[in-house]
């Protein structure tokens, strides 16, 4: 590991979609250099001085190696930058116009997230996962 601070990922482990996606990333090379924080049972208490449990469960957040807290599309870009197989995507989507597009896509996804969570939970129940 390098001497710079690691990327910290805040995720909702109670969300079946989030748990699957984070599980995918955690199996990738380089994931052991990332700090993974499951905020599912945090209540409304602060996860960090600038992040409440409510906010952490509502949107995807990442703390960058520089200490900045980012969310949405920017958070994905920083996560991807920390994983060798996705570094190219992280670098591309950290470019302002592309980051904006990614953030708009993520915002659209959030509108359908409750429905997709129910679908994923049913799917996991049906397969015995």
Greater confidence (129 vs 114) lies with: 114
Residue 119 pLDDT = 72
pLDDT band at 1; cut points 50, 70, 90:
very low
Furthest-apart CA atoms within the chain: distance in Å: 45
Rounded distance, CA 63 to CA 27, Å? Answer: 20
Q: What is the pLDDT of residues 72-94, one digit of tens each?
A: 999 999 999 999 999 999 999 99
The residues near 21 (Cβ < 8 Å, ≥ 6 apart) are: none
Rounded distance, CA 66 to CA 57, Å? Answer: 23
Residue 69 pLDDT = 97
Q: What is the pLDDT of residues 23-66, one digit of tens each?
A: 999 999 999 999 999 999 877 778 888 999 989 988 999 999 99
Residue 120 pLDDT = 66
């Amino acid at each position: 590991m390098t001497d710079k601070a690691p990327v910290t990922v805040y995720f909702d482990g109670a969300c079946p979609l989030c748990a699957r996606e984070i599980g995918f990333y955690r199996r990738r090379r380089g994931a052991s250099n990332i700090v993974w924080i499951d905020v599912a049972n945090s209540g409304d208490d602060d996860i960090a001085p600038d992040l409440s449990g409510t906010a952490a469960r509502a949107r995807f957040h990442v703390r960058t190696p520089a200490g900045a807290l980012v969310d949405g599309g920017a958070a994905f870009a920083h996560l991807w930058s920390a994983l060798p197989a996705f570094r190219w995507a992280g670098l591309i989507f950290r470019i302002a116009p592309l980051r904006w597009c990614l953030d708009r896509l993520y915002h659209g996804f959030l509108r359908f997230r409750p429905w997709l969570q129910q679908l994923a939970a049913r799917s996991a129940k049906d397969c015995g996962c």
